[in-house]
Amino acid sequence: MTVPTLDDVRAAWMRLPAEKRDEIGLLAVDLVFQGFLYGDLVPEEDQALSDHDARDLAGDRENDRLNEIHRTVTAALPDLLGPNGAHPAWVECTLKAVG
């Protein structure tokens, strides 16, 4: 087994139950939305929110969503990302092949 490709990631994604894909997708959309509200990718005059406290709150939520996505995807795809702190099987196979 080698390092998974985008096709392998896609196959792992498609094996997830629809409810889990929906949960992760919603988190991803909210991550992008919070980033839009935070406005760090646009010039200040084009930002949706002018209030710095509101922008900071959106930035905090953006970070929270990224962390939540990471935890959720890691737990949902142990074959791809490894079970609870361990390397996935493909890493061990790759290390044996190289070593």
Give the domain extent around 76. 6-98
Number of domains the chain is built from: 1
Winning range, highest mean pLDDT, from 18-22, 43-47, 81-85: 18-22
Question: What's the predicted TM-score (pTM) here?
Answer: 0.81
Q: Is residue 58 packed enough to be buried (19+ CB in 10 Å), middle (13-18) or exposed (0-12)?
A: buried
Q: What is the pLDDT of residue 16?
A: 98
CA–CA separation, 54 and 37 (whole Å): 8
CA neighbours within 13 Å on the CB side: how many for 39?
Answer: 16
Q: What is the pLDDT of residue 18?
A: 98
pLDDT tens per residue, range 31-80: 999 999 998 878 888 888 888 899 999 999 999 999 999 999 999 999 99
Contact between residue 9 and residue 58 where contact means Cβ atoms under 8 Å apart: no
CA–CA separation, 28 and 84 (whole Å): 22
In a domain? residue 1: no
Q: What letter does residue 51 receive in the DSSP assignment? A: -
